[in-house]
Amino acid sequence: MDNATKLDGRRVPEGEKQYDITRIWDTHHEIARMLVLGFSPDAIAKQLNITTQTVSNVRNHPLIKSKIDEMQAARSASVSELQAEIREMMPSALTVIKDIMENENAKNTDRLRAAIAVVDKSIPTIQKSENIYAVLSSEDIVELKERYNKEKSSINPMEVINE
C-alpha cells in the first residue's frame, strides 16, 4: 500500500491531508484536562507542541466546554469529600500532635515536625479577593471615611504589641 491509499483501499487525492481522529480526540481531551488543572493556554500549547490558537479553538468548542464542566464538577465533588474527611480527622490529628509535642521522650525531630504542623495550620490562608461594585453618593463616601478614621484611632498600637 502506498502513501496515497487509505486503509480501506480508497485512493487519497494528491495533497489531501489525512487525519488520525483518535490522536486528535486524545489531544483535545488532554487540552481539556490541562485546562481543568489550571494550565495556561501558552503552557498547554508548548507542552503539547501545538499552537495557542489550537488550544483556544478546542477550549471554545461546545463539546469540549461541556467536557470541561463535567471534569470541574467531578474535581469539585472530590475536593469537597476530601475536605469533609479532613474535618473529621482533625480532632484526632490535633491530639496526636499535642501528645508528640508534650512527650519529652519523643525525638526532637518528631516534636519539631509536630510544632511545624501546628504553625502551618494556624497561619491563615490567603483569601481570594472579590471585587464589589457599588454606586456611592458623596455623603456615603464621607460617612465611610469618618467610620474608618474612628476605627483607626480606637486601636492603641501599644496594646497590640504587648499582647
Query: pLDDT tens across 50-105, in order?
Result: 999 999 999 999 888 888 888 888 888 887 787 788 778 777 777 877 787 788 88
Residue 99: inside a domain: no
- Which structural domain, as residue segments, surrounds residue 3? 1-60
Q: Where are the alpha helices (DSSP H) in 103-137?
A: 108-122
Residue 122: inside a domain: no
122 close to 97: Cβ distance less than 8 angstroms: no
Are 34 and 44 spatial neighbours (Cβ–Cβ below 8 Å)? yes
Q: Residue type at 49?
A: N
Task: Quote the CA–CA distance of 68 and 29 in Å, as a whole number.
Answer: 9
**Which residues share a beta bridge with 5?**
11
Domains contained in the chain, number: 1
pLDDT at 107 over 90: no
Asked whether residue 16 is assigned to any structural domain, the reply reads: yes
The CA distances from residue 42 to 68, 71, 98, 117, in Å, are: 18, 21, 46, 36
pLDDT band at residue 115, thresholds of 50, 70 and 90?
A: confident
Domain of 30, CATH number, reads 1.10.10
Buried b (16+ CB within 10 A) or exposed e, 29-52: eebbebbbeebebeebbeeeebee
Q: What is the pTM of this model?
A: 0.43
- Average pLDDT, rounded, for the chain: 77
Q: Which residue has the higher pLDDT, 66 or 125?
A: 66
Which residues contact residue 36 at a Cβ distance below 8 angstroms, ignoring those fewer than 6 apart? 68, 71, 72, 75
Q: Give a yes or no: residue 7 inside a domain.
A: yes
